[in-house]
Amino acid sequence: MCGIIGLLVKDPELRGQLGRLALPMVIGMTERGPDSAGLAVFTAPESGERRKWSLYAGEHAVDWAGVEAAARARLEPSAGLHVRRNHAVLSAEAETDTVRDWVREAFPYLKILAAGQAMEVYKETGRPGDVAERYGFAAMEGTHVVAHTRMATESAVTPERAHPFTAGEDWCLVHNGSLSNPYSIRRKLEPAGIRFETDNDTEAACRYYEWRMREGDDLATAIRHGFSELDGFYTFLMGTRSELALVRDAFACKPAIVAETDRYVAISSEFRSLAHLPGVKEAHLFEPVPEEIYVWRA
């Protein structure tokens, strides 16, 4: 049992309040996921060829000023670093493969959690409220967030196995449910060059969609292929640079509720995480139907 949370603000005036509105949604899912929590926030995209990478240091003591100086020397002079405890967001005009190779060579204890022009990812073990306070979820601004609270059932409680999982650039996935065939998916994808980082079943879904999109599918087509390939129970919530996408399996036994107004779309595993939102009493409330793809644009 886990909790999924999504919030997309249609009204530009709410972008500065995104984190403050999303924080009670995350805390409201504590009982569904007390082991770890994570959040992907989508901000105004970097301009031109500039990208950003979410870095995670774990328990390592890091000289972040030294990392920033090294990035400016190796990548490009205007590279910058924004630090939140043991996470940091590196911004530079560079290719992701170049940055990954540089991090692997110069700072092998750092893990790249996400890449893209808009998305930043923060995730950690611990109770959701503690994780949110540690990384300042309430102060985050942007167009939409995807968040998760985890109750581990099939793999260890570690930051790497916390959600969101990411692939490519500006794309993430969170999951409530359990897949029964993650290892058969893995055996199918590894010979195609898809790399796995954990034994978490959610990562199998993430890498499956990554493979389908690498082969030319758009996200909706990849999801439709997944109906016949991903075996198990799931509610998946996904974020792209400009969208939220929600889908449930054919049995739809994992809960989800959507509240939509003219100002926002909010998604959670239970209504209690939505109850604080402004105007929610007048919102269009509904439970997503099985195997239907819902997409909302920022």
The answer to whether the CB of 217 falls within 8 A of the CB of 249 is no
Average pLDDT value for residue range 63-76: 97
Task: Enumerate the β-bridge partners of residue 239.
Answer: 172, 244
Tell me the residue type at 27.
I
Residue 279 has pLDDT above 90, yes or no: yes
Contact 202, 173 (CB under 8 A): yes
Report, as an integer, the average pLDDT of 203-211: 97
- pLDDT tens profile 20-34: 999 999 999 999 999
Average pLDDT estimate for 179-191: 96
User: What pLDDT, on a 0 to 100 scale, did the predictor assign at position 134?
Assistant: 96
Question: What class is the 49-117 domain?
Answer: alpha beta
What is the distance of C-alpha 69 from the center of its chain?
A: 28
Average per-residue pLDDT in the chain?
97
Q: Which pLDDT value is given to residue 127?
A: 97
Q: Which residues are catalytic?
A: 2
Across the range 64-82, mean pLDDT stands at 97
Domain range annotation of the chain: 3-45+118-297, 49-117
**Identity of the amino acid at 230:** L
Mean pLDDT for the stretch of residues 258-281: 97
Please state, in angstroms and rounded to a whole number, the distance separating the CA atoms of residues 122 and 177.
Answer: 21
Q: What is the pLDDT of residues 232-268, one digit of tens each?
A: 999 999 999 999 999 999 999 999 999 999 999 999 9
Q: Where are the beta strands (DSSP E) in 69-225?
A: 80-84, 87-93, 111-116, 119-125, 144-150, 165-166, 171-179
* Strand order from edge to edge, sheet including 171-179: 165-166, 171-179, 232-240, 243-248, 294-297
The pTM assigned to this predicted structure is 0.96
Which pLDDT score, from 0 to 100, does residue 1 have?
A: 79
- Report whether CATH 2.60.120.380 matches the domain 3-45+118-297: no
Is the per-residue pLDDT at 153 higher than 90? no
